[in-house]
Amino acid sequence: MSEALHDLRPKTARWTHVALRVTDMDATVDWYTTFTPLEVLERREDEDGFGAWLGHPDPDNPFILVLAQFLPDKDPFAGATTATLTPFSHLGIELPTKEDVDAVAAKGEAAGCLGMPARQMPDPIGYICMLTDPDGNMIEFSYDQGVYETARDKWS
């Protein structure tokens, strides 16, 4: 076993990230920083390809979207189908207001990436719209879904 490279670790097992394989790192990073509140934590480049970590600047509760673009001759998954999160599979972002969802939907429609217009769905789904990222993954933007409130109420 190799020596550990990092000194700081969680005290218990933690869900820290979701990873997506992408075809164009720059376009994907630009898309997520334009349409979501995610910020670039780190970008990497090595002999195997490109990587980026995006998330909210919250050091106490890190949850990261990991993006990976492998070079064709270095792709350990070459030949495998690139999975996309669609039509129901998605990443979800809960927004503070219904108007925020409408604004994201309008921005997505103008950019040609609106996957589902804003609409009210039954509880617990709330008011949502969905956009598609450059690789076709569905990203849901919701208002009044209750995920944030439920987690805070039950785990605080």
Instruction: Quick: pLDDT tens for 50-106.
Output: 999 999 988 888 899 999 999 989 999 988 888 899 888 999 999 999 999 999 999
90, 139: one domain? yes
Contact assessment for residue 42 and residue 88, using Cβ atoms and an 8 Å cutoff = no
Domain boundary among 73, 100, 124: 73
Domain-terminating residue out of 73, 95, 121: 73
pTM above 0.85, yes or no: yes
Residues 62-97: b if buried by 16+ CB within 10 A, e if exposed: eebbbbbbbeeeeeeeeeeeeeebeeeebbebbbee
Q: What was the pLDDT predicted at 96?
A: 95
- Structural domain for 24, as ranges: 14-73
Residue 45 is assigned to a structural domain of this protein: yes
Pull the structure tokens for residue 79. 């030949």
- Residues 151, 92: one domain? yes
Number of domains in the chain: 2
The CATH number of residue 66's host domain is 3.10.180.10
